[in-house]
């Protein structure tokens, strides 16, 4: 039998029509903006038939890098005026480097739930940046949110600025035009739209240690009254779910977006100065908290005192992260002794990467890197002089 001859057919992908190429670009963008940026860089014809991110505003949700988390950089790199930062895809484990020239003269207040960065220039001017597309907008000055008698808090001499003005829980409201700025330590919320001259201030009184969250475009927090949600027009907090557990002053409560499900973690003090962690599902329909025993099996929670990060374990090397586990960030008091709490059997994994003073020598594991992302008070808990790269 004569051998079959197979004709090699070559396809010039750059000659795709605008219709097919545009459809491919739309589908790539629907999954991840980083892949979309790469696809636009392939050739001129692909770039021509896909939307330029810079032509749209920062608030356009199509271009938000929701899956990407900015990793902490070594002090050596920061002191060298290097503004290339690493970003980790919390779903796939991919790591990329991004140049952010804005960080030459801006401080990072916090990342938002959408993957954007809230920046502060000269301790006054607020900006919102998409770190992957470079889109940037100006927001009202911080001095329009703070009463004048508190403007001295913005001074470079305020040693507690990083904790006073951590903006965890901030984000974009579901109207896609309003920014919610949260300084929860100061019990202060600001609401504004691009072009506004000032923030609309909402203050509240609450003695609890809690961590708020932006969930499905709405701001949620925990007060003595229960789980509260921010309603607009006018801005006010209203009850979203009743709180039936007692949160002591030496405990804390943390709201978490568990893949589209709002959860609450109650961190409590047990006998013998041990800590326990109870998990609840927040049912917004019935305004009730339901106790649950896990996060869904394939997810792990990295929990800090001010913010949290939930990741699927399948995107990371096998055995590096355990499912249904709460990993503590370095600003959590017991992190010096406890690295993780396993929800299934309520067991604890002791900290392995700390010295006798309870300080992280370096983030030499994936758990350390992700825990460090959510750490705010690093000066108290983390010695980063020997930070390694992940």
Q: How confident is the model at residue 237 (pLDDT cuts 50, 70, 90)?
A: very high
Residue 361: the pLDDT is: 47
Residue 248: the pLDDT is: 87
Average pLDDT of the segment spanning 347-368: 68
Residue 249: the pLDDT is: 84
Asked whether the predicted pLDDT for residue 194 surpasses 80, the reply is: yes
Residue 360: the pLDDT is: 46
**Lowest-confidence segment of 5-19, 22-36, 183-197, 363-377 by average pLDDT:** 5-19
Instruction: Of 262, 261, 373, give the one whose Cα is nearest residue 328.
Output: 373
Asked whether the predicted pLDDT for residue 231 surpasses 90, the reply is: yes
Q: Which residues contact 320 (CB under 8 A, 6 or more apart)?
A: 365, 366, 367
Average pLDDT of the segment spanning 130-143: 96
Asked whether the predicted pLDDT for residue 100 surpasses 90, the reply is: yes
Residue 80: the pLDDT is: 53
Asked whether the predicted pLDDT for residue 217 surpasses 90, the reply is: yes
Asked whether the predicted pLDDT for residue 305 surpasses 70, the reply is: yes
Average pLDDT of the segment spanning 362-380: 76
> Alpha-carbon distance 251 to 76, whole Å?
36
5-51 confidence digits (pLDDT tens):
555 556 666 666 667 878 888 899 999 999 999 988 888 888 888 88
Asked whether the predicted pLDDT for residue 176 surpasses 80, the reply is: yes
Percent of the chain at pLDDT > 70 equals 86
Residue 208: the pLDDT is: 87
- Return the higher-pLDDT residue of 9 and 158: 158
Residue 14: the pLDDT is: 65
Asked whether the predicted pLDDT for residue 77 surpasses 50, the reply is: no
Asked whether the predicted pLDDT for residue 127 surpasses 80, the reply is: yes
Q: How confident is the model at residue 376 (pLDDT cuts 50, 70, 90)?
A: confident
Q: How confident is the model at residue 355 (pLDDT cuts 50, 70, 90)?
A: very low
Asked whether the predicted pLDDT for residue 99 surpasses 70, the reply is: yes
Q: How confident is the model at residue 384 (pLDDT cuts 50, 70, 90)?
A: very low
Asked whether the predicted pLDDT for residue 63 surpasses 70, the reply is: yes
> Alpha-carbon distance 286 to 301, whole Å?
25
Task: Report the predicted TM-score, pTM, of the whole model to 2 decimal places.
Answer: 0.87
Q: What is the mean pLDDT of the chain?
A: 86
Asked whether the predicted pLDDT for residue 75 surpasses 70, the reply is: no
Asked whether the predicted pLDDT for residue 357 surpasses 70, the reply is: no
Average pLDDT of the segment spanning 273-292: 95
332-347 confidence digits (pLDDT tens):
999 989 999 999 999 9
């Amino acid at each position: 039998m004569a051998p079959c001859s197979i004709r090699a057919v070559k396809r010039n992908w750059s000659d795709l029509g605008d219709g097919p190429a545009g459809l491919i670009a739309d589908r790539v963008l629907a999954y991840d903006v980083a892949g979309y940026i790469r696809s636009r860089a392939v050739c001129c014809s692909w770039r021509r038939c896909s939307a330029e991110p810079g032509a749209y505003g920062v608030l356009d949700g199509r271009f938000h890098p929701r899956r990407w988390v900015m990793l902490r950089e070594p002090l050596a790199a920061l002191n060298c005026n290097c503004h290339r930062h690493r970003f980790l895809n919390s779903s796939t484990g991919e790591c990329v480097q991004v140049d952010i020239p804005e960080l030459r003269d801006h401080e990072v207040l916090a990342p938002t739930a959408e993957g954007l960065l809230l920046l502060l220039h000269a301790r006054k001017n607020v900006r919102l940046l998409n770190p992957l597309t470079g889109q940037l907008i100006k927001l009202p000055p911080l001095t329009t949110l703070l009463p004048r008698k508190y403007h001295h808090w913005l001074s470079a001499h305020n040693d507690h600025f990083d904790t006073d003005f951590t903006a965890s829980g901030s984000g974009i409201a579901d109207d896609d035009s309003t920014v919610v700025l949260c300084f929860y330590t100061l019990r202060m919320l600001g609401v504004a739209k691009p072009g506004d001259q000032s923030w609309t201030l909402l203050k509240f009184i609450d003695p609890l240690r809690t961590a708020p969250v932006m969930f499905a475009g709405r701001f949620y927090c925990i007060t003595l009254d229960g789980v509260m949600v921010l309603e607009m027009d006018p801005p006010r907090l209203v009850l979203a779910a009743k709180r039936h557990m007692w949160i002591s002053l030496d405990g804390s409560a943390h709201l978490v977006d568990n893949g589209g499900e709002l959860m609450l973690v109650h961190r409590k003090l047990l006998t013998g100065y041990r800590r326990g962690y109870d998990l609840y599902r927040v049912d917004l329909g019935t305004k009730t908290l339901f106790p649950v025993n896990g996060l869904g099996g394939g997810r792990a929670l990295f929990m800090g005192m001010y913010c949290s990060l939930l990741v699927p374990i399948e995107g990371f090397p096998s055995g590096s992260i355990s499912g249904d586990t709460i990993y503590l960030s370095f600003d959590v008091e017991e992190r010096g002794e406890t690295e993780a709490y396993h929800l299934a059997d309520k067991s604890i994994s002791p900290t392995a990467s700390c010295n006798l003073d309870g300080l992280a020598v370096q983030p030499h594991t994936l758990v350390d890197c992700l825990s460090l992302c959510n750490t705010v008070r690093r000066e108290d808990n983390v010695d980063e002089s020997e930070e390694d790269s992940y």
